[in-house]
Amino acid sequence: MSTAVRAVLALGSNLGERSTTLTEAVDELTAHPAVHLHGVSAVAQTRPVGGPTGQPDFLNLVMEVETTLAPLELLRHCQQVEQAHHRVREVRWGPRTLDVDIITYDDLESDDEVLTLPHPRAAERAFVLQPWAWMDPDATLAGRKVADLAAAAADRDGLAPYPRTEDD
């Protein structure tokens, strides 16, 4: 692929040094010569949605990149960054050091079993939608304003801006 497209990625972490992991992951994702940072949101602290009970809270952010990688190449790159942070996939929606999801890839719609686009649950998740709205107040998903979707999301009450410190 030679034409650059915009993609929105959602990152989350609830194990280890969460803030450091997210910062490093943004840097590692954009260290690829075919991935360029367009914007990154503030960080949100969120209660876990789904998965086993008793998990620690997540830190989440959204970033927009411009890339010439094809969708599955971008997915592989995201998974390599997850692996560099010791991501383990044992329990669906379980605790993790790093999760990177492709939310949108330009206007591409795909029902591929490996990569569904837009992300099939993004329109329901405040932990994706609110940071995205902070980053881009005019963003839309499936023809609806991301900020409106965030306000209506069931997990909205479990989300708060993450109070960054000088150590973050």
Residues with catalytic roles: 87, 96, 99, 101
**How many CA atoms are closer than 13 Å to the CA of 144, on its beta-carbon side?**
13
Q: What is the DSSP letter of 132?
A: H
H/E element, 100:
strand 99-105
C-alpha triplet 149, 95, 166: angle, nearest 5°: 75
| Side-chain-side CA neighbours of residue 37 (13 Å) | 14
Task: Give the pair of three-digit tokens for residue 81.
Answer: 């960054």
Distance CA 101, CA 128 (A): 10
Q: For tokens 């379980």, name the residue.
A: 94
